[in-house]
């Protein structure tokens, strides 16, 4: 069993700025559980393409799971020569449909009651908006948003941020940083801003240089890894739509039958591996994980609806955290050395290197 794609109807398209649109979809009846999400997660959408059939792209949700309207919203900002973002902004209208995978991602607070220090640059405000909206609705902590943009016309969700800060003056502080006025933020300036909030949980999303600088400052200030989060997206090279999931499922089922899903890879352990995986509050236990079968494929063959998006090691949708044992990854384009040191691995690329593996998706 694999994660299925869904045809979602577009019910609203809003031009937030000259180069950014928010797109709202209606969740189909019966698919409510599939589209239950945590603040900060993203959707993978299938953008039609004459050249490749489908261009798969990930866009963060800006809506909140506290909103029970039966809709979900992403924000898309045009990028120079970006086919998918420009197609979505130019062509998508109310009443259109788009193929979408259920929400994924680990850029989400462990507790909505924690104090949150949220850094956003440009369109990086999208998951930050979801986290802010949800924490205000369901949490109790203080929230500080540092939002950097080129100029005033580039500020996405400007009016809503102002309204939220006015409605929650005791909990929410929004600080706008405009390059046209203040120049690019420097490490010294970010350090001064964050220094007296070292007990907060920090989240960073935006252009790569902005994230690199901000995360480096947080490290210098002593923010531990468990309270320092960074969203990372790359353009997906694979296609998680079309017949790819069916092909993967067939491979996994064959693997379950004959133990040969990844013949090019020599197994690191000889026999069946004991696997325990916690997902959505349920623990799945197996004593027959073939060491040549990747973790995601094994779970799918057993009927577990494990999250994934690209299946290529290019995103973090399938990430698990190891609790015991270890795995090897055939490919990894998204996890850094700190992620690996924390035991985070990509299930779509992971094969066991120990006789026992325990992991969690939480």
Which range is least confidently modeled, 80-84, 203-207, 327-331, 343-347? 80-84
Closest-CA residue to 176 (of 140, 152, 147, 144): 147
- Number of Cβ atoms within 10 Å of the Cβ of 45: 25
Which range is least confidently modeled, 56-65, 186-195, 305-314? 305-314
Place domain 6-104 in its CATH homologous superfamily. Translation factors (2.40.30.10)
Ranges for all domains in the chain classified under CATH 3.10.20.30? 244-360
Q: CA-CA distance, 62 to 40, in Å (whole number)?
A: 8
Q: Is 326 exposed, middle or buried (0-12, 13-18, 19+ CB in 10 A)?
A: middle
**Backbone phi, psi, residue 342, to 5°:** -85, 0
Beta strands of the chain (E only): which ranges?
A: 6-17, 20-26, 42-49, 53-60, 71-77, 97-104, 116-121, 143-149, 172-178, 201-205, 228-230, 273-279, 282-289, 319-324, 327-329, 344-346, 350-352, 356-360
Determine contact, residues 103/37, Cβ cutoff 8 Å: yes
Q: CA-CA distance, 305 to 347, in Å (whole number)?
A: 13
Reduced to 3 states, what is the DSSP secondary structure of residue 136? helix
Query: What is the greatest pairwise CA distance in the chain?
Result: 64
Residue 96's H or E segment, with its range, is none
Q: CA-CA distance, 143 to 203, in Å (whole number)?
A: 11
Ranges for all domains in the chain classified under CATH 3.40.50.80? 116-230
Determine contact, residues 174/165, Cβ cutoff 8 Å: yes
The secondary structure of residue 61, as a DSSP letter, is B
Asked if pLDDT for residue 52 goes beyond 70, the answer is: no
Closest-CA residue to 291 (of 317, 268, 325): 268
Determine contact, residues 248/297, Cβ cutoff 8 Å: yes
Q: CA-CA distance, 290 to 330, in Å (whole number)?
A: 16
Mean pLDDT over each residue of the chain, to the nearest integer: 89
Residue 173: both structure tokens together: 């502080």
Q: CA-CA distance, 116 to 128, in Å (whole number)?
A: 10
The pLDDT of 163-178, averaged and rounded, is: 98
Tens digits of residue pLDDT in 177-231:
999 999 999 999 999 999 999 999 999 999 989 999 999 999 999 999 889 999 8
The pLDDT of 309-327, averaged and rounded, is: 86
CATH 3.40.50.11820 is the classification of domain 116-230 = no
Ranges for all domains in the chain classified under CATH 2.40.30.10? 6-104
Q: CA-CA distance, 11 to 73, in Å (whole number)?
A: 10
CATH class entry, domain 244-360: alpha beta
- What's the full length of the chain, in residues? 362
Confidence grade of residue 117 (pLDDT, cut at 50, 70, 90): very high
């Amino acid at each position: 069993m694999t994660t299925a794609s869904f045809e979602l109807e577009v019910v609203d398209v809003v031009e937030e700025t000259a180069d950014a649109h928010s797109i709202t979809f209606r969740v189909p009846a019966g698919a409510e559980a599939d589209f239950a999400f945590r603040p900060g997660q993203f959707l993978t959408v299938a953008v039609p393409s004459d050249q490749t059939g489908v261009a798969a792209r990930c866009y963060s949700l800006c809506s909140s799971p506290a909103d029970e309207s039966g809709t979900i919203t992403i924000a898309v900002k045009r990028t120079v020569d970006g086919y998918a973002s420009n197609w979505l902004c130019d062509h998508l209208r109310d009443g259109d449909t788009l193929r979408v995978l259920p929400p994924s991602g680990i850029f989400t607070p462990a507790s909505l009651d924690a104090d949150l220090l949220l850094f956003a640059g440009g369109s990086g405000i999208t998951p930050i908006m979801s986290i802010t909206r949800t924490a205000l609705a369901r949490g109790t902590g203080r929230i500080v948003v540092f939002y950097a943009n080129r100029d005033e016309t580039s500020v996405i969700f400007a009016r809503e941020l102002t309204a939220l800060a006015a409605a929650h003056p005791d909990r929410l502080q929004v600080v706008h940083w405009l390059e046209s006025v203040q120049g690019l933020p420097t490490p010294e300036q970010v350090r001064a801003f964050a220094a007296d909030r070292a007990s907060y949980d920090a989240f960073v999303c935006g252009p790569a240089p902005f994230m690199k600088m901000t995360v480096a400052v947080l490290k210098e200030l002593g923010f531990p890894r468990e309270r320092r989060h960074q969203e990372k997206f790359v353009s997906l090279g694979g296609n998680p739509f079309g017949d790819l999931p069916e092909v993967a499922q067939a491979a996994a089922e064959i693997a379950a039958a004959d133990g040969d899903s990844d013949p090019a890879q020599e197994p690191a352990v000889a026999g069946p591996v004991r696997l325990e995986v916690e997902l959505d509050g349920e623990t799945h236990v197996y004593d027959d994980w073939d060491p040549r079968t990747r973790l995601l494929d094994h779970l799918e063959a057993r009927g577990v609806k494990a999250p994934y998006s690209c299946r290529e090691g290019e995103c973090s949708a399938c990430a698990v955290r190891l609790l015991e044992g270890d795995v090897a990854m055939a490919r990894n384009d998204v996890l850094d050395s700190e992620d690996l040191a924390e035991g985070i691995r990509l299930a779509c690329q992971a094969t066991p290197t120990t006789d026992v593996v325990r992991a969690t998706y939480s």
